[in-house]
Amino acid sequence: MNAKYHILSIIMEDRESAFHPVNELLHSYAQNILLRVGYPMRDLGVAVIFLIVELSVSEMGAFSGKLGQIKSVKVKVTTLKLEEGEQNEN
């Protein structure tokens, strides 16, 4: 597996209906999630989740595709393009 780092922005436009399906899917990918930050915007009825994940490009496509199939969920993925040496430097 040629894993890469990806940043996901997930917007749940209907928190009530999307909350459980999204969380179940995130739980199934928990071993690949490096960072998860959620921001519920209760006054607007939406929630935003930011993730940093480590997956191959094909696995990322499957994951984002499953998220995008959930009603009222929108997903944006950015794949980080790091040079080989940059991943191991501190």
- For 59-90, write each residue's pLDDT tens digit: 999 999 999 999 999 999 999 987 665 555 54
Please report which helix (H) or strand (E) contains residue 57, including its range: helix 57-68
d(CA 83, CA 11): 30
Q: How confident is the model at residue 2 (pLDDT cuts 50, 70, 90)?
A: confident
DSSP letters spanning 12-56: ESSHHHHHHHHHHHHHHTGGGEEEEEEEEETTTTEEEEEEEEEE-
pTM of the model: 0.84
pLDDT of residue 86: 57
* Per-residue model confidence (pLDDT) at position 84: 62
Look at residue 3 in the predicted model and tell me its pLDDT. 84
Contact between residue 66 and residue 75 where contact means Cβ atoms under 8 Å apart: no
The structural domains of the chain, with segments of one domain joined by +, span: 4-81
List the CATH code of the domain at 4-81: 3.30.70.1150
Residue 76: name the closest of 89, 85, 67 by CA: 67
CA 13 to chain centre: 15
For the chain, give the mean pLDDT. 90
